[in-house]
Structures are given as C-alpha cells and as structure tokens.
Homo-oligomer: A and B are copies of this chain.
Amino acid sequence: MITPWEVSEELDYKKTMENFGIKTIKNIINNIETPHKFFKRGIIFGHRDFDKIIKCIMENKEFSVVSGMMPSGKMHFGHKMVIDQLLYYQNIGGSIYIPIADLEAYWARNMDFETTKNLAIEEYITNYIALGLNPNKINIYLQSKNETVKDLAMKLSKKVNFSEMKGIYGFGGETNIGHIFAPIVQVGDILYPQIDKNKKMLTVVPVGIDQDPHIRLTRDIANRATKSKEFNFIPPSSTYHRFITGLTGGKMSSSKPETAIFLSDIPSKSLRKKIMSCKTGGRETLEEQKKLGGIPENCAVYELFVYHLIDDDNELKEIYNSCTNGELTCGSCKKNCYEKLTAFLNDFKEKREVAKEIAKDIL
C-alpha cells in the first residue's frame, strides 16, 4: 500500500524478504535527516546494510552509489524513479557510478558496441543529465572500455563456479561463455568504487527486488575475495524499490507504448488521450464513486502523483482523502494529472536540449 504517511510492505514481497534476509526499511529511515519521498512513501521498502550508509550520510563520510544501465529503447517514468534516487544521493554527497553494460548487451542481447554506446549517449545519459545529475561528478563508463573493471571481473571469476551461476541465472549448455561471464562483470562494476578510490568505502546499490540475486552473488564474492586475502572488500549495501505500475494496469514497458510515459514524450492530443483512458481506482458508476469513494491503491494516476508528479505530502494526502471519501471524480483527477505532466514534460524538453550537447562529450 502506497500512502504518503505510512510505510508498509506488500505481502507478496514479504516472503521473498524473509527468505533472503532483506530487512524492511521503515525502521531506520527516521534516522535520515532529509529522507527522499520514496522512503517515506514506501516505494523503497527493503534493504541490506543500509543502516551503514545512513551512518555515512550522518557523519558526512564518503560513500558510493552504483547503478548500471543496459540501454534498450526509450526511457520512461519507470526508469526515472531510479535516476531520482541517484540525484538524491548525489545531492547529499554520494559518489555516483554508472556502468553502461555494453558487454552484457553484446553477450546476452546480441547488441553491437557502437549501437549500445550511441543509445546510451543520445537517450540515457541525456536524460540522466536533464534530470539533474551533475555530469562533472558522475563516474560513467562503458564496461568494455574499463580495464580495471574487466581485470577485476577476471580475477573474481575464479571465486564462483558453474553450478552457482546455473542456480542463480538458469544458465544451461546452450548459454554462450560470454553470457555466463556477464554477471561477474556486473559484480566487478559494483565493487569497482572500492578499487577506484583505493580505500574502504561503503557502496549502496538501489535495485528492484528481482535484482537481489545479483546483490547476493556480489556480497558472496566480495566475502570470498576478502577471505582469500586477495582483496579487502566491504560487501555492498542495497535498497529495494517497487516499480511504478503501467498506465493500463500491468508493467510499464518500453515495448508497450500504451503502458508508458516516455521522458521524450511531448504534450499532445494522443498523450492526453493516454492519460484520460488509463486505469484508475474509480468505481463503475459516478453514483457508486460518490457513495463508496475511489481506491487510490489501484490507480495508475495516483501512482504517477506518488512517484513523480507531487512532491508535497499534504497535496498528495488531500487527493487521497478526497478520492476515498467520494468527492473527487476520476475525470477531474486525470485532467489534473495531465496538466502536471504537461508542465513537467515542457520543462524537461528544454533541459533535454541542453543535456544532449553535454552528453555527447561525456564518454
């Protein structure tokens, strides 16, 4: 359940969390002076060792944040949420590391290096900068060009065997050797900040819960490499976020444009139509709506407010209340949403134009 004032975990995540030792985050976020709205609103709901990162933040100690990208298609509001977290950490002093997974794209998706690089620059990096990341402060690199990461991966590849990789990723006889190696390069990416700065430094990796196997593998390998005295790693911390629901109710996905708002969208009749016809938590009739109230927990429009379009908790609370008590109709709520979206996209379009030029020179 997503509300602006109550953090709770969804039941279907609970079992996964218990099984794999992911802790609920609500008990520790009160220790942060300026928590991001995603913490308060339960969008980031779980963690491993994030208390250590909070300690860093409070003590003004250096820490790093790793968030890889594998460019494929256009970025949408599902992606934006991850960048918003990076922006938050950058503003409170975190060093941001952004590996571009061109090796993995090559091995696992048959994408050539030039295509991946161009897409990374023109779409992803452009958006990252437009969203506010300081290009002079981010450590962004192509996996294929980072000798330290590749060498790190080569060494760490000794610390894990085929059975383990098969268990985690379902690899089989038909899997190409590069693809088997790809997750180890990702492990290298996550541990890279500790090598790059040549000092013990805490790292946090913000991910969806489906990415937890990567985190567990990285933590295991970090521990083994430290135990063998070849390295001296601190296992990375992690946080777990839930992804925004798509406009039609399922997953927001680049390959299904009807489900997504893209960062490159421009206000238009068709975009308006997309919002006006999206899935809400409204009742079947206006009469019922007035009597029973709407269900914001099932509403794609409400999620857009929660994740992206409303920062002010009071404003969000007002919408929630007027919806659930039957005052607010879906029609006017959607109109409000489209107006906010229009303001965001118009502003963002200009920022993209500026960012585009900066992005060209960043790699």
A interface, CB within 8 angstroms of B: 103, 106-107, 144, 147, 150-151, 154-155, 157-163, 165-166, 171-181, 184
Contacts and interface: CB of A to CB of B under 8 A. Distances in A.
B176 A103 contact: no
Contact of A155 (B106, B147, B151, B166): B106
Nearest to A183: B177
Given A147-B147, A150-B150, A180-B180, A162 B173 contact: yes
B173 A184 contact: no
Contacts of A172: 162
Contacts of A166: 173
Contacts of A184: 177
Given A161-B176, A162-B175, A163-B174, 9 more contacts: A106-B158, A147-B147, A157-B176, A161-B175, A161-B177, A162-B171, A162-B176, A165-B177, A177-B181
Contacts of A154: 103, 144, 150, 178, 181
Contacts of A151: 144, 150
A147 B150 CA distance: 10
Nearest to A145: B151
Given A103-B154, A157-B107, A162 B177 contact: yes
Grouping DSSP codes into helix (H, G, I), strand (E, B) and loop, the A interface class, with mixed when no group exceeds half, is helix
Nearest to A185: B154
Contacts of A106: 155, 158
Contacts of A177: 157-158, 160-162, 165, 180-181, 184
Contacts of A173: 161-163, 166
B163 A179 contact: no
A176 B147 contact: no
A177 B175 CA distance: 13
A21 B186 CA distance: 41
A166 B177 CA distance: 11
Contacts of A171: 162
Contact of A174 (B157, B161, B174, B175): B161
Contact of A181 (B147, B157, B174, B175): B157
Contacts of A160: 176-177
Contacts of A161: 173-177
Nearest to A107: B158
Contact of A159 (B155, B163, B165, B176): B176
A148 to B, nearest CB: 11
Contact of A158 (B144, B158, B178): B178
Nearest to A175: B162
A329 to B, nearest CB: 55
Contacts of A144: 151, 154
Contacts of A178: 154-155, 157-158
